Amino acid sequence: MSGAYLADVDSPVRERAARVRLLALDVDGTLTDGRLLLAADGVEIKAFHALDGQGLKLLRGIGIEVALITARTSEVVTQRAGELGITHIHQGCHDKRASLRTLSRLLGLEAPQVAYMGDDLPDLPALGWVGLAVAPANAHPWIRERVHWITTASGGRGAVRELCDLVLDAQDQAEAVLRGFIRT
């Protein structure tokens, strides 16, 4: 295993991660720390973690689809998704489960092949539908009680990368990815 920090992830979670073909994410509280920073002129500012972005690129590199599903609408999210090559962006979405099911059908996937990470109540329906439900460490307690796995990192601070690493490892891709970056 390339990531010793993933050694304590139990077998049922690994089995779920091995089936993932689509990773869908809430944005605020997962890809960001959940704070909403608004300048006096109304400009919205969000901080994204570079580790999370790299993890999402790695998943896309092995053929796993990535989607962002968020209740808010933000040009910053559109920009970040573009930087990462993410084409499945659902903003202003108030029924995340329905959006996720529609996207899954479009991609020819079933619930066991889908992972979703969310941190608060609007994410519960989507978390309840997927094969791998994940919450960042700082998710609301009601969410943490209802998921398959909780990352050690908080949202916006590498939680998404932990999930990406788990999927790569469970699908026996972590070592190959690592070798691709090591120059001898």
pLDDT digits (tens, 9 = 90+) for 160-179: 999 999 999 999 999 999 99
Structural domain includes residue 5: no
Q: What is the mean pLDDT of residues 8-32?
A: 96
**What residue type is assigned to position 62 of the chain?**
I
Structural domain includes residue 37: yes
What CATH number does residue 104 fall under? 3.40.50.1000
Structural domain includes residue 57: yes
Contact 31, 48 (CB under 8 A): yes
Could you list the beta-strand ranges (E) of the chain. Answer: 22-25, 37-38, 44-45, 65-69, 88-90, 114-117, 132-135, 149-150
Structural domain includes residue 184: no
Structural domain includes residue 1: no
Q: Which pair of structure tokens corresponds to residue 34?
A: 């959940």
Domain range holding 156? 10-178
Q: What is the pLDDT of residue 162?
A: 97
Q: 129: Cβ–Cβ under 8 A, 6 or more apart, which residues?
A: 97, 100, 101, 111, 114, 116
Structural domain includes residue 3: no
Structural domain includes residue 60: yes
pLDDT > 60? residue 2? no
Q: Which pair of structure tokens corresponds to residue 127?
A: 């978390």
Q: What is the pLDDT of residues 77-104, one digit of tens each?
A: 999 999 999 999 999 999 999 999 999 9
Mean pLDDT across the chain: 94
| Cα–Cα distance list, 76 to 35, 65, 70 (Å) | 14, 21, 12
The total number of structural domains that make up the chain: 1
Structural domain includes residue 2: no
